[in-house]
Amino acid sequence: MTSRSSTHIVVIAGEASGDAHAGRMIAELKQLAPTIHVSGIGGDIMRNAGADIFVDFSELAVMGIVEVLKRYRKIKTIFNQLVKRLADDKPDLLVVVDYPGFNLKLAKKAKKLGIPVLYYISPKVWAWRKGRVKTIKKVVTHMAVLFPFEKTLYDKAGVPATCVGHPLVDAVQTQLTPEQAKLKFGLDPKHRVLGLFPGSRRSEVEALLPVMIEAAERIQKHHYDISVVLPLAPGLDLAVIQPFLKLSKLPIKVVKHDFYDVTKACDAIVAASGTVTLEIALLAVPHLVVYRVAPMTYRILKRLVKIPYVGLCNIVTGKPVILELLQDDVSAERLEHELTLLLTQAASKAKAETIRQQVLTALGPAGGAHNAAQLLINLLDNRL
């Protein structure tokens, strides 16, 4: 068995959802083996769980092929510095979380250095770039996957994998009713509450927040008074969204904490595609998914992606339970129409509860973060 007091693991999370998943796993790990030293790339959630963060994930968080090219030099510098750190002070285990463009290259370097690699949260090989499975087989020691169908895929490819379950099954909860949540944030109980969730990356905010705000303004002007809330995503600086808020006469309440409570306060939400949409669904809030990237990025992705959906709720259930609007369909007029339906239709809440049950069933076993932490310890103890 590995000596816990001298054990050091490095965890790499390159974006907000990875920081959240890794943070929950590290918190569980500290309960199971408190003396293990954890360092890495991440954000406040990993930091608060007990990890020493040497690079904040905001330095890496960018979405889209064209967008990555613009930040390539900075990302490459961080990568080279990280490889040197791994070589100079070899950890007992490298844990890479999602973020495959960066993390698979890092896993390859770790393999050459003789460092075992646990990959937590699989790249979406079932959606696009299936050839990555061959790379994973060569450079990753073990896969910790969230969905049962992912384990089946890796089993067929001969890649060691364990389905730990999705941490959100346990994590997503609030004790508040929608009415109580509205009171908590000082929202007018007579107003319907619209949530704007523009994503955690600067590129997402720049592409989506202006049209979200315009849609909210149109609802206010053409239909009825609404209250508008915007949860500030982890790792996203308030300065990124402030210029857009200043251009609007609509008062938009920015909430920095209590994400699940503020989500529960919403009568409808428009959200950027991502893990957040699973969280919204698990809180049974009516919502729709939007996404927009650079035109060239979209043309490339459209040729590469092999599944019909981008929203995680639709992917895990295998059917279009949530409306998705992409690229040119993301207009203020279309959002006004669809959000007004969500805000006014009597069946919206009941449908959201049905979707919650479907998503919960599709996410697999409970205890995901704990299971991932135990898997990590098993790897350290050479029990796998």
pLDDT digits (tens, 9 = 90+) for 22-76: 999 999 999 999 999 999 999 999 999 999 999 988 777 655 555 556 667 888 8
Q: In this model, does residue 201 exceed pLDDT 90? A: no
Nearest to 113 by CA among 143, 82, 74, 142: 82
Write the pLDDT tens digit of every residue in 122-173.
988 876 678 899 999 999 999 999 988 899 999 999 999 999 998 888 889 9
Asked whether residue 8 falls in the same domain as residue 147, the answer is yes
Asked whether residue 266 falls in the same domain as residue 337, the answer is yes
Q: What would the mean pLDDT of 215-222 be, rounded to a whole number?
A: 95
Please report whether residue 173 resides in a domain: no
Joined tokens for residue 326: 């992409």
Render the burial of 163-202: b for 16+ CB within 10 Å, e for the rest.
Answer: bbbbbbbeebebebebeebbebeebeeeebbbbbbbbbbb
Give the CATH number for residue 18: 3.40.50.2000
Asked whether residue 87 falls in the same domain as residue 148, the answer is yes
Asked whether residue 95 falls in the same domain as residue 195, the answer is no
Asked whether residue 318 falls in the same domain as residue 355, the answer is yes
Q: What would the mean pLDDT of 249-271 be, rounded to a whole number?
A: 95
Q: Which residue has the higher pLDDT, 203 or 115?
A: 115
Joined tokens for residue 87: 């070589």
Asked whether residue 133 falls in the same domain as residue 10, the answer is yes
Neighbours of 353 (CB within 10 A): 13
Asked whether residue 299 falls in the same domain as residue 276, the answer is yes
What is residue 72's predicted lDDT score, i.e. its pLDDT?
Answer: 73
Asked whether residue 217 falls in the same domain as residue 308, the answer is yes
Asked whether residue 34 falls in the same domain as residue 99, the answer is yes
Q: Which residue has the tokens 């350290």?
A: 380
Asked whether residue 188 falls in the same domain as residue 156, the answer is no
Please report whether residue 74 resides in a domain: yes
Asked whether residue 348 falls in the same domain as residue 247, the answer is yes
Beta-bridge partner residues of 193: 227
Count of the separate structural domains present in the chain: 2
Please report whether residue 34 resides in a domain: yes
Q: Which domain holds residue 206?
A: 178-362
Query: What is the distance between the alpha carbons of residues 160 and 293, in angstroms, rounded to a whole number?
Result: 34
Asked whether residue 329 falls in the same domain as residue 257, the answer is yes
Please report whether residue 69 resides in a domain: yes
Q: In this model, does residue 1 exceed pLDDT 50? A: no
What is residue 61's predicted lDDT score, i.e. its pLDDT?
Answer: 60
Query: What is the distance between the alpha carbons of residues 65 and 49, in angstroms, rounded to a whole number?
Result: 32
The amino acid present at 14, given as its one-letter code, is G
Joined tokens for residue 111: 């393999």
